[in-house]
Amino acid sequence: MLFILRIILSAITLSLSVYCFVTERFEYMPLMMLSLGAMLFVSGLHELSKNKKAIWGYFSIAVSVFVVFSTIERFINR
């Protein structure tokens, strides 16, 4: 389940970033950052569930929390 969710979030993040890069319209950048944060969070959970190098799982979760909070701050300070 986490693997499929990670693939879906990766596709969303990639498609939004390619769209912003090609069209040079950056109004979807906060959505891309939220999907990136969600992808990192799911990736960290996947690493922790496999108990494979747990430090990277915790690191991914910490980075995802930072990305989501900075994106929410961007929404608030608009």
Confidence at residue 57, expressed as pLDDT on a 0 to 100 scale: 86
Q: How many C-beta atoms surround the C-beta of residue 5 within 10 A?
A: 16
Answer yes or no: is pLDDT of 42 > 80.
yes
Question: Is the Cβ–Cβ distance between 9 and 24 less than 8 Å?
Answer: no
The tens digit of pLDDT for each residue in 59-72 reads 989 999 999 999 88
Structure tokens at 68: 């989501």
Mean pLDDT, the chain, integer: 88
Confidence at residue 10, expressed as pLDDT on a 0 to 100 scale: 92
pTM: 0.84
Q: What's at 9, amino acid-wise?
A: L
Three-state SS for 23? helix
Q: What domain range includes position 61?
A: 2-76
Question: Is the Cβ–Cβ distance between 2 and 45 less than 8 Å?
Answer: yes
Please tell me the total count of domains within the chain. 1
The tens digit of pLDDT for each residue in 18-33 reads 999 999 888 888 889 9
